[in-house]
Each structure stands twice: as C-alpha cells, then as structure tokens.
Amino acid sequence: MTGVSQATVSLVLNGRDDGNVRIAPETRERVLHAIRTTGYVADPVARRLAARHNRILGVFTYEPVFPTGTGDFYHPFLVGIEECAERLGCDLLLLTSAPVAGGRRRIFHDDNRLRLADGCVLLGRSLDHDELTRLVTEGQPFVSVGRRDDAGGPVPYVGADYPTATAAVVRRALAAGHTALAYLGQGSGPESHADRMRGFRAALDEAGRTPRHLPTTDRSPAELLDALLAAGVTAAVVEEYADGVAIAQLARERGLDIPGDLSILALGDPTRPASTDIDFTGFRIPRREMGWQSVEVLTGLLEADPETVPQRLVPCQPVDGATLAPPKVTP
C-alpha cells in the first residue's frame, strides 16, 4: 500500500526511533496513515511468538477456582491476583484443563499445559510435595501462595506470617491473665498449621507456661469442649475458625459464658463455610494482599535473576473481637 517493507511497518508500529533505527518522518507519516485507514492491528499471537513471552500468568488451584461453596477460600486471593495482573497488563490463565485424579487436580500429566504461561501462581491449602519438588528442580518459574517447606530446594512463596500472628494472640491472652491455654487443631501437616503451632509454643515457652495441644481429628465439638473443661483450660486457641464456632455455640447452649467462662481465640478467617454472629478475637489473614504480592513476586522472578528464590511473609492483621476476657478467679 505504501510501497514499504514489512520491517519498516513493524518499526513504525512500535515507534522505534533509537540510535540504530531511523525512519524518515515523511515515511513514518505515510505508514501511520495507512494503518489508521485500514484499522490494521498487529496479530498478538505472532507478536508473542517473536517476543518469547506471553504476559500470561498461570493460576493453578488444586480445587475449582470458582467454588460453589459460600465460604469461598480462594476468592480473596484471586481478587488480589487479578488486581495486580491488571495493573501489570498481564492476563491470567486459569489452568482448568488439569485432569482430576483422586479428587484433586494434578499439575503434571500427559498434556501438561503449565508452560502456556510465563509463570504460575500456585494456590492451595497444601500442595503435592512431589509436584512441588519437580517444579523446583526443573526451575519452572512459579510462586506459591502460602509458605512451603523446602522441596528439593527452597520454594518461592508469599505466605502469611502465622507464627508471629499466633504468638501475638497468645501474648494477649497471657496479658489478660490466662495461664492455661490449649491449641485446638492439627498443629501439623500443612505448613500453615505447623506455623501456627510454632507461634503458639514460642509464646508460651517465652512466658514459662506449658503449651497444651488438643487434636481435633475425629472428635466432636462436645468431646472437645469436655476435654477443655476437664483440663481446666481458660483460653482455647483455635486453628480452624469453624471449630471455634461449633465450640462457642455448644458452650453457650450449655449455659457457659463466652468469653466469661472460656476465651476463644481464632487463628484466621473461616476457610470452610461458617456463618456466625460471633466476633472472634484473633487475626485476619491478608489474603488479598498475599494474592497481590504473589503476582508482584512472580513477575519480579521472571524479569530479574531467576536464581534468587523470593520468600515473603506478610503480617496478619490483629482483630480485637469479643471472645477474650480475663479468666475467672477460681474460688
């Protein structure tokens, strides 16, 4: 149309005008005019092929990204992820094609599409250790949302600082006068549980008090409450929000006063659907912030030295709540 080569069009299109490349203003104008009248747009696909990267960030979750349950675990993370991706001009690829095996999606399989994206954000309460190891050893660019233990090497992550947040909650209970505290929950398994337990132990050790642990697996709320009272516990530090709700409700049904007779401290927001009007003392997990930062970290990883393994802990926000009170003095 303008009697000019494809290369020239490309140069004009990208506004190149540095030392090595020069286009006569008159030619540039002619090309621009042609572009305007035809409405020509460079094919994004070819563009990405030549540029060697996509500006696509993968999002892998072990469960559906859009869950049906109301107490939506992933949603806040995704809000942050989307916000940051939008700001950076990246698109998000939801890796929904991963086939389900044993109730969970798998990253690696015959038709692994992870590499569709420049890098990947991994979301999930616990990640498959073998898959994580493989990601690390293969040097795939990814970031885990949530701290992870080493898996064949350090894992890049953006996690919540559970030890610090849990310790802070425990210290508040100690300051209120509690001496008999118990940790309700697994306290091990996923890193997020182990981290809470570490914070719990650390704060009690520091104060010279005995940390007690009440595993919740296979025990009904009634059994748990009985055990708590039998042990003379005055403040229960609850790993799972939903467990806290169940115990509080049961306690009130039995005529106990929360927090008068028993203080309950929740270590984070609900992960399972749980509706209640109880305003728990504890902390809030900065999920949106974590999502945001994970994208930030991932893009940093892609642009900068891929050798560095970024690991960030984001502080949790304390919640005053109404389930902590000084223990009653036993007569």
Partner DNA sequence: TCAAGGTGCTAATACGAATTATCGAGCGGC
Partner DNA sequence: GCCGCTCGATAATTCGTATTAGCACCTTGA
Residues that bind a second copy (CB under 8 A): 35-36, 39, 41, 43-49, 54-56, 64-68, 75, 78-79, 81-83, 85-86, 89-97, 99-100, 108, 110-116, 134, 138
Give min distance, CB of 130 to DNA, in A.
Answer: 22
Residue 305 contact partner, candidates a second copy, DNA, none, CB within 5 to 8 A by sort of partner = none
Residue 108 contact partner, candidates a second copy, DNA, none, CB within 5 to 8 A by sort of partner = a second copy
Give min distance, CB of 48 to DNA, in A.
Answer: 8
Q: Which is nearer to a second copy, 94 or 313 (CB)?
A: 94
Amino acid (one-letter) located at 134: R
Q: Which is nearer to a second copy, 101 or 329 (CB)?
A: 101
| Cα 149 from Cα 155, distance rounded (Å) | 7
| Cα torsion angle, 299, 94, 268, 194, sign | negative
Residue 102 contact partner, candidates DNA, a second copy, none, CB within 5 to 8 A by sort of partner = none
- Reduced to 3 states (helix: H, G, I; strand: E, B; else coil), residue 289 is helix
Q: Which is nearer to DNA, 16 or 109 (CB)?
A: 16
Q: Which is nearer to a second copy, 19 or 89 (CB)?
A: 89
Residue 14 contact partner, candidates a second copy, DNA, none, CB within 5 to 8 A by sort of partner = DNA
| Cα 233 from Cα 18, distance rounded (Å) | 73
Give min distance, CB of 111 to a second copy, in A.
Answer: 7
Distances (CA, A) of 103 to 67, 68, 78: 14, 16, 22
| 259 preceded by a cis bond (ω within 30 of 0) | yes
Q: How many CB atoms lie within 10 A of CB 253?
A: 8
Residue 138 contact partner, candidates DNA, a second copy, none, CB within 5 to 8 A by sort of partner = a second copy
Residue 16 contact partner, candidates a second copy, DNA, none, CB within 5 to 8 A by sort of partner = DNA
Q: Which is nearer to a second copy, 22 or 87 (CB)?
A: 87
By the 8 A CB rule, do 170 and 209 touch? no
Q: Which is nearer to a second copy, 107 or 246 (CB)?
A: 107
* Residue ranges with strand state E in 117-239: 119-123, 142-145, 157-160, 181-184, 212-214, 235-238
Give min distance, CB of 304 to DNA, in A.
Answer: 17
Of 168, 193, 136, 192, nearest to 309 by C-alpha is 136
Amino acid (one-letter) located at 247: I
The site for DNA (CB under 7 A) is made up of 3-8, 10-11, 13-14, 16, 20-24, 26-28, 41-43, 45-47, 49-52
Q: Which is nearer to DNA, 8 or 276 (CB)?
A: 8
Q: Which is nearer to a second copy, 33 or 272 (CB)?
A: 33
Residue 93 contact partner, candidates DNA, a second copy, none, CB within 5 to 8 A by sort of partner = a second copy
| Cα 258 from Cα 15, distance rounded (Å) | 67
Q: How many CB atoms lie within 10 A of CB 80?
A: 23
Amino acid (one-letter) located at 74: Y
Give the pair of three-digit tokens for residue 278.
């109880």
Give min distance, CB of 46 to DNA, in A.
Answer: 3
Give min distance, CB of 110 to DNA, in A.
Answer: 10
Of 318, 320, 299, nearest to 310 by C-alpha is 299
- Reduced to 3 states (helix: H, G, I; strand: E, B; else coil), residue 221 is helix
Of 144, 174, 184, 142, nearest to 160 by C-alpha is 144
